[in-house]
Amino acid sequence: MKEATKRAASEALAQMLAVTAMLVIASVIFYWH
């Protein structure tokens, strides 16, 4: 796999994890109240 492809994949994975974390935090805050 090329370096650019690996970098793009890791960036996409990090972005997906960040979005998932935001959704989890938002739902926790939503259900907490």
Please write the tens of the pLDDT for every residue from 1-33: 689 999 999 999 999 999 999 999 999 999 988
The per-residue pLDDT for 33 is 85
**Boundaries of every domain in the chain:** 1-33
For residue 18, the model assigns a pLDDT of 98
Question: How distant, in Å, are the alpha carbons of 14, 20, 22 from that of 28?
Answer: 21, 12, 10
Taking the model in full, what pTM does it have? 0.65
pLDDT of residue 17: 98
pLDDT at residue number 9? 94
Q: How far is CA 30 from CA 8, 16, 19, 22, 23, in A?
A: 33, 21, 16, 12, 10
